[in-house]
Amino acid sequence: MKRLSFFLTFTFFQGLAAKDYNVLFIISDDLTYTALSCYGNKVCNTPNIDKLAAEGVRFTQAFCQGTYCGPSRASFMSGYYPHATGALGYKSPRPQIGDRSTWSQHFRNHGYHAARVSKIYHMGVPGGIESGGDGADDPLSWDEKYNCKGPEWRAPGDGETLQKNPDGKRPVVGGNTFVVVEADGDDLVHSDGKAAAKAVELLEKYQGMKKPFWLGVGFVRPHVPFVAPRKYYNPFKPYSKMVLPKKVPGNWDDIPQAGINYCTSENMQMDIRKQKKAVGGYYASVAYLDAQVGKVMDALEKSGKRDNTIVIFTSDHGFHLGEHDFWAKVSLRDESAKVPLIISVPGKKPAVCDSFVELLDLYPTLSNLCGLPKQDRLQGKDISPMLDDPSYEVRQEAFCVAPMRTGFYSKKKNGRSCNMVKNYQPN
């Protein structure tokens, strides 16, 4: 009898552990937490992301490990810090990790169906999206994968190049350039509209699937170019009403040279009008992204699987919108190094968590929540106790590297210090 009761208890807990949660991982590109209304933005309204935040745990101190696409994505998917693998560029981490499993591959190895829609590992934006290629993808991570080609800066509409265009004669250009296009047509013209539609289709398809799924949906907005259907720009026009961060005379006087971001109002030659339009264009891209998140969440609801699906929303890193006259990513300041992060686990109470977390924590945390074997080699920490107790802590500082700035950043919880180690050379 004792043995039977042990057996029943064991299988009961095993049954709980192997709850077969599905995982829906939604990741935006270059999205700063400051642009979301659930993080306090009063101008840019993001009702769909806010709804998810209200259903889950919203993290206020979540940090990426690399402040641009390639290293950040290679890090959280592989489970290692960028400098641990040396995956510091726009490359797949596979050569460095050998046969070790990536996050979704670990799920595949334990009975999950893993799929990718659009950008999970690095893809060049806009170039890679225009061509519709795989980018720095890792085939072993997926059972199925879909790329979502889009016109990007070539989308028909009213476009303007804001960067290095003082006389207004520069045409709308491609590349990593501040361009705003108020585009003709609907959501489906663009990559993210197509990605949402593909995710909706897959969620319908998975309704009848026996296996649990790990579905990664990667959106490319609000990465430059700021391209979205016209209607998303309306709340931010005229652009002259956009409010820029306060200009502080002598703001850079106490910032070491390595801390001056590579994109500034000065070197981008953006006057006040263009700076305000950059903010409005970015917000319109965020509003468009938010609408696509809503479509995916509606489809999850309709599929009947919301009650056993863990949903994560985040970004690969943040973005400057004129703070200290800095723009774009790479900087190690909060606007760029911090990310929005929401984790919604069915049955758990909504909360706001101020504990320090890293994107690297997602792999071990989700593995634990889904009852998969623990891997001591992973460099992230299991933050799942925070989902029951938001005051739980796993670290006192978060670590982030900006490879091209040859510096390390370590943000301490109870301090304002930003520790930079100069002349760091990755192996």
Phi and psi at 360, nearest 5°, equal -60, -20
User: Catalytic site residue 122?
Assistant: yes
Between 55 and 192, name the residue whose CB sits nearer to Ca ion. Answer: 192
Between 29 and 192, name the residue whose CB sits nearer to Ca ion. Answer: 29
Q: Which residue sits closest to Ca ion, CB atoms considered?
A: 69
Between 29 and 137, name the residue whose CB sits nearer to Ca ion. Answer: 29
Least Å from the CB of residue 317 to Ca ion: 6
Least Å from the CB of residue 390 to Ca ion: 28
Name 91's bridge partners: none
**Candidate list 38, 44, 64, 69, residue with the active-site label:** 69
Of 31, 49, 52, 69, the one binding Ca ion (CB under 5 A) is 69
Between 189 and 330, name the residue whose CB sits nearer to Ca ion. Answer: 330
Number of residues that bind Ca ion (CB under 5 A): 4
Between 372 and 402, name the residue whose CB sits nearer to Ca ion. Answer: 402
**Candidate list 122, 190, 317, 324, residue with the active-site label:** 122
Between 67 and 265, name the residue whose CB sits nearer to Ca ion. Answer: 67
- Closest residue by Cα to residue 222 from 315, 322, 323: 315
If one asks whether residue 335 binds Ca ion (CB under 5 A), the answer comes out as no
Per CB under 5 A, the segment of 65-73, 179-187, 269-277, 287-295 that binds Ca ion is 65-73
Least Å from the CB of residue 223 to Ca ion: 6
Please list, in sequence order, all residues whose beta carbon lies within 8 angstroms of the beta carbon of residue 199, skipping any fewer than 6 positions away. 117, 215, 217, 295, 296, 299
If one asks whether residue 74 binds Ca ion (CB under 5 A), the answer comes out as no
Between 106 and 122, name the residue whose CB sits nearer to Ca ion. Answer: 122
Least Å from the CB of residue 401 to Ca ion: 15
Per CB under 5 A, the segment of 17-25, 66-74, 128-136, 201-209 that binds Ca ion is 66-74
Least Å from the CB of residue 73 to Ca ion: 8
Least Å from the CB of residue 158 to Ca ion: 25
Per CB under 5 A, the segment of 62-70, 161-169, 407-415, 416-424 that binds Ca ion is 62-70
Per CB under 5 A, the segment of 30-38, 195-203, 332-340, 364-372 that binds Ca ion is 30-38
Instruction: Reduce the secondary structure of the chain to three states and give it as a string.
Output: CHHHHHHHHHHHHHHHHCCCCEEEEEEECCCCHHHCHHHCCCCCCCHHHHHHHHHCEEEEEEECCECCHHHHHHHHHHCCCHHHHCCCCCCCCHHHHCCCCCHHHHHHHCCCEEEEEECCCCCCCCHHHHHCCCCCCCHHHCCEEECCCCCHHHCCEEEEECCCCCCCCCCCCCCCCCEEEEECCCHHHCHHHHHHHHHHHHHHHHHHCCCCEEEEEECCCCCCCEEEEHHHHHHHCCHHHCCCCCCCCCCCCCCCHHHCCCCECCCCCCCHHHHHHHHHHHHHHHHHHHHHHHHHHHHHHHCCCHHHEEEEEEECCCCEECHHHEEECCCCCHHHHEEEEEEECCCCCCEEECCCEEHHHHHHHHHHHCCCCCCCCCCCCCCHHHHCCCCCCCCCEEEEEEHHHCEEEEEECCCCCECCCCCCCCC
What is the separation of C-alpha 127 from the centre of its chain, rounded to a whole number of angstroms?
19
Q: Which two tokens stand for residue 281?
A: 């264009």
Instruction: Show the binding pattern over residues 288-327: x = contacts Ca ion (CB under 5 A), - = does not.
Output: ----------------------------x-----------
Whole-angstrom Cα distance, residue 111 to residue 318?
Answer: 34
If one asks whether residue 29 binds Ca ion (CB under 5 A), the answer comes out as yes
Least Å from the CB of residue 163 to Ca ion: 17
If one asks whether residue 30 binds Ca ion (CB under 5 A), the answer comes out as yes
Per CB under 5 A, the segment of 42-50, 69-77, 83-91, 375-383 that binds Ca ion is 69-77
Amino acid at 273: R
Q: Could you say which residues in the range 214-233 bind Ca ion, by CB under 5 A?
A: none
Between 192 and 316, name the residue whose CB sits nearer to Ca ion. Answer: 316
Beta strands 213-218 and 22-28, pairing class: parallel
Least Å from the CB of residue 246 to Ca ion: 27
Instruction: Show the binding pattern over residues 121-150: x = contacts Ca ion (CB under 5 A), - = does not.
Output: ------------------------------
Per CB under 5 A, the segment of 26-34, 107-115, 214-222, 348-356 that binds Ca ion is 26-34
In which residue are the tokens 């979301």 written? Answer: 36
Binding residues for Ca ion, per CB under 5 A?
A: 29-30, 69, 316
Residues annotated catalytic, as ranges: 69, 122
